[in-house]
Amino acid sequence: MGKRSRRRVRAATAHWPTGRRVAVLAAVLVVLVTGAGLAAYITTRGSDENTVPASSPSAGASAPVAKPGTPTPATDTGTVSPPPRLSDPLAYGRAAAVMLWTYDTRATTREQQLAGMHAWMTTETKYTDWASIKAQVPDPLLWSRMRDNGQYATATVTEAHFPSAFKQALAEDPAALTEAYIYAVTVTGKQSIAWKDGGGGAEDRSVTLAVQCRPNADCALVAIAPNTAP
């Protein structure tokens, strides 16, 4: 990796705990740091996982070692779609975005929603950031109110691409990807929300995802970035 890239990495990771910074650098998640702080978010388990606006809730094989708040593999996943068997990070990112922006409180409990989302996650606990995914689901009280209103959402994707900074970092050091095989994927689309008595609306959505696609293996979701990378 060139000197300019290393300077960017040091600046972006200066505030991280030493142990996690070393682990991330060793895992070559520095490639994602240049994308928009995605690796920093991957290494920081979010402090506020449950509070999201009522208009934007969204709907991982489980990790070998369960973490606090992780749904059990046996939990029913309700209406959450199962992860597709794809080896293309862009295609998987598109599918994951649709899953994250889709939910149906009429037929799926919050626990089922979480279990369904967790089925999309990488099983490599060294990289997975379940907290960033779980944070997309409203807290139990808000989910209950949404269910009382019969709220549900559908989603469509219009485009997916690798962020420009991710491509630049990869061009500077192509071999950096071969440790963790984690790609940054930015997806744009539209989420349509409806509830009983004919209410509803729609809004444009965008998200940058960390997607792991190892050779000869299906892709898996790693994390959601706190900001969308262009």
The pLDDT of residue 54: 33
Picking from 207, 160, 198, 163, the residue whose alpha carbon sits closest to that of residue 184 is 163
**Helix (H), strand (E) at residue 29:** none
The pLDDT of residue 198: 85
* Mean pLDDT per 10-residue interval, the chain, length 230 residues: 38 35 36 38 36 35 38 69 96 98 96 97 93 95 96 97 91 86 96 92 96 96 92
The pLDDT of residue 152: 97
Contact (Cβ atoms closer than 8 angstroms) between residue 179 and residue 23: no
Task: Compute the distance between CA of residue 87 and CA of residue 218 in angstroms, rounded to an integer.
Answer: 5
Give percent helix, percent strand, percent coil of the chain, each to the nearest 5.
35, 20, 45
The pLDDT of residue 195: 93
Average pLDDT, the chain: 76
Question: Which neighbouring-strand residues pair with 203?
Answer: 191
Task: Compute the distance between CA of residue 182 and CA of residue 178 in angstroms, rounded to an integer.
Answer: 9
How many other CB atoms are there within 10 angstroms of residue 163's CB atom? 22
What's the pTM value of the predicted model, to 2 decimals? 0.71
The pLDDT of residue 177: 87
The pLDDT of residue 179: 86
The pLDDT of residue 75: 57
First to last CA, the chain: 22
